[in-house]
Structure 1
Amino acid sequence: MDFSFGAEAEELRGRARAWLTGHLVGPYEEAVGLGGPGSEHEGVGARRAWERELGRGGWIGTGWAEEGYGNRRLSLTGQVVWAEEYAAARAPARVGHIGENLLAPTLIAYGSREQKDRFLPAIARGEELWCQGYSEPGAGSDLAGVRTAAVRDPADGRLRVTGQKIWTSLAREADWCFVLARTEAGSRRHHGLSFLLVRMDQPGRVEVRPIRQMSGTAEFNEVFFDGAVAEEVVGGEGDGWTVAMGLLALERGVSTLVQQIGFAAELERVVRAYAASGAPDPVLRERLVRQWAELRTMRWNALRTLGAAGDAGAPSVAKLLWGGWHRRLGELAVAVRGARATAGPGPWAPGVPYELGLDEEQRLFLFTRADTIYGGSDEIQRNIIAERVLGLPKEPR
């Protein structure tokens, strides 16, 4: 199978590289390499400004099925090229990716014309940021168990949301949240759910509490809704499960390829640390070679399945592959360091942020413990593959 890019794609690569080089200057140059999983606390102000810069360049929404909202349309290959150049330039990690890659395509597929016209231009300009209100303390992997409810206010007829969401990335930065909530009293499982759009700036109605992780950072949050107004219902009341599942199906190929560029940089750093240790270890060397080979295989698999809209198992296979790979890389990073990995560079004093006592390898190890859990645990992904792809009997409930 030929995984090379054609002349048109390479021409786009040159233009993308030139644009990034010309715009990652001034305050944006200082934000190069900042942000991303495990480091979402870094340079938030500069990264938010960078979103607007991307919007002015028309680089937001390149994969949308519709254009005319200030975005440029790129082919699937073009999206990969842009994403690879973005990652190679170490441009600031996106704070608008949830709105661009999850909410916007969902609105295009299920939203009304008025909803598209209201929200898509603001996303394309990098002006409005979104977070996802799915998981709850009692409904993480089992999304159909959500208990957050929305009821009609008899005074004004508006839906008011009450409940708690958890593991909400970028909730402190987001202007809006799309929320899966129960709008039919007494409904169970996937019945009676609605997909709601809720403004985050509702003092006294929406509260965000950061969740401190063992790596010292707090990129995830709890979100509490206390009668918060839902501005819009996408897809109609009671059809939230269909919309929510449609959104989850959007998490595929291009983002996986971009992620792998970051993985490659992390692996290279671990390899350099091994080479600098001056103590060759054949076991560690074999593990490093295996990590490199597995990363190449993941790339080829991602390219092979790119755009496989009818392949129900492709996202689950990709998640299984990269989740386990990245966790093993974290383990390998501290193994290369040896006993030194158990201590920070200096003593921790009261008032000093915990994360300042950790180096990159230690943060990598601690954060990657979660890779096989968040975004759908390994157990859930295996169930999806078994039931939807292999046709095996469902687990007894």
Structure 2
Amino acid sequence: MDLAFSKEDLAFRDEVRAFIAEAFDDDMRARMDQSKNAHIDKAGQVRWLKRLHDKGWIAPDWPEEYGGTGWSHSRKYIFEMEMALAGAPSTSNMGLTMCAPVVMAFGTPEQKAQHLPKILSTDVWWCQGYSEPGSGSDLASLSLKAELDGDHYVLNGSKIWTTYAQWADWMFCLVRTSNEAIRQVGISFLLLDMKTPGISIVPLPTLDGPAQGEQEINQVFFENVRVPVSNRIGEEGQGWTYAKYLLQFERGNPYAPGLTHQLEKVKRIASLQASDGGGKLVHDPAFRRKLAEMQIKVDTLNATELRVFGARVTGETLGAVSSMFKLEGSQAQQAITELALEAAGVYAAPFVRDTWAEIRGERNEPRAGPDYAATLAPHYFNYRKTSIYAGSNEIQHNIMAKMVLGL
């Protein structure tokens, strides 16, 4: 594989940098810098995505026929890396990267026409309805009932850990349409309007103490919620097949660009903080060894992602490789947040409840320590979830053992 960029690729890199310099405005930068969970509020996120849409860059992985960029793998890599290094908001959301591929692959022409243009333009926001109380990594045990009543399904039950459900206009949801000896057989895949009567959303507080606009996860309750049968993706009882297809996209996103940005931030902190032995922490031999070990892991993952995603140009699917990416990427994310805490030392301990108050022009109490320290502990606590969501890391080990080693 040729890892050298062409002159055209380098010119594209300059174009991406120029776009970021103009579109990533001061308010977004301030919110990202002081975000406790690496996201900004919905208004800022939509503003960012619409600028990408206007530029034609919002869906690098979509086929051109649906509005994708048609970029080469090298250009996708350049785009993702430059966005990450700039600390820009994520270019992915659940509609763009998870729901849309399923609609493209298994949806009816009517479903594609209804949903894909609005997902692309960010006029409709999506959330995911997979996990349930007592049914997380064992997703096949889900019990949200969807009973057929004429041309509608009637839903009763709940979903949990539903990221940004309070923002969502629509949900893609796994439901149980029948009880079979093989549990996966009775699962169907529905698209549902979150304004449908009978849906209620309850926020779940988290240890990072999110500021206004940063509330992240919720539990969603369904009480006699009627969903048209026409909103079902594919065949009844085949939802497990579509869910597995979707999980390749949820687990198989590149981690290296974001990890590179996070590690560079740790290096900057270490260059400012004093070590116990005098001098700056970045020169401390023990801490330098930890940084070097993490740099090797990030570089290795980056090379692997380049190789694997490059092969997808030929039509290869990720399969079990997506589990490997999720496993290695999530472990690296957690390790880097630990390094950041170590670098900041005691300055990471004070709890700032609302890190966005000053950005909103509201009075805020003076902080103890540098501004960058306020989000480090929240990041650490928030990133404990990465080894659990999208299937716990133990599940990823099982998938690789079965699909790669044949165990």
TM score, norm. by length of structure 1 = 0.85
Unaligned runs of 5+ residues in structure 1 are: 347-351, 393-397
Shift of 1:248: 0.7
The aligned residue for residue 12 of structure 1 is 12
In the alignment, residue 180 of structure 1 is paired with which amino acid?
A: L
User: Larger deviation: 167-176 or 271-280?
Assistant: 271-280
Question: Is 1:227 paired with 2:224?
Answer: yes
Distance 1:22 1:38, change over 3 A: closer
Question: Is 1:171 paired with 2:165?
Answer: yes
Question: Is 1:313 paired with 2:316?
Answer: no
The aligned residue for residue 388 of structure 2 is 373
The aligned residue for residue 360 of structure 1 is 375
Shift of 1:176: 0.6
* CA RMSD of superposed structures (Å): 2.8
The aligned residue for residue 358 of structure 2 is none
In the alignment, residue 47 of structure 1 is paired with which amino acid?
A: Q
Unaligned runs of 5+ residues in structure 2 are: 354-362
Match of 2:337 among 330, 340, 353: 330
Question: Is 1:90 paired with 2:83?
Answer: no
Shift of 1:276: 6.9
CA contact (8 A) 1:199 1:229 kept: no
Shift of 1:30: 5.6
Shift of 1:34: 6.8
Q: What secondary structure does 2:167 align onto?
A: coil
Distance 1:141 1:269, change over 3 A: farther
1:176-202 deviations in Å (ceiling 9; x for gaps) = 100000112556510121110011122
Q: State the distance in 2 between where 1:303 and 1:93 align.
A: 19
1:54-109 deviations in Å (ceiling 9; x for gaps) = 22222222211342x44433233322222222223332334x62111111111111
CA contact (8 A) 2:269 2:344 kept: no
Distance 1:127 1:377, change over 3 A: same
CA contact (8 A) 1:51 1:126 kept: yes
Output aligned runs, 1:162-241, within 5 Å: 162-185=156-179, 188-203=182-197, 205-217=198-210, 218-231=215-228, 232-241=231-240
Q: State the distance in 2 between where 1:210 and 1:78 align.
A: 39
Shift of 1:23: 2.6
CA contact (8 A) 2:81 2:257 kept: yes
Shift of 1:369: 2.5
Shift of 1:311: 4.6
Q: State the distance in 2 between where 1:7 and 1:91 align.
A: 25
Q: State the distance in 1 between where 2:176 and 2:194 align.
A: 19
The aligned residue for residue 395 of structure 1 is none
User: Larger deviation: 45-54 or 256-265?
Assistant: 256-265
Q: What secondary structure does 1:216 align onto?
A: coil
Match of 2:135 among 139, 146, 167: 139
CA contact (8 A) 1:39 1:219 kept: no
Q: State the distance in 2 between where 1:10 and 1:192 align.
A: 50
Greater per-residue helix proportion: 2
Match of 2:54 among 56, 61, 67: 56
CA contact (8 A) 1:31 1:91 kept: no
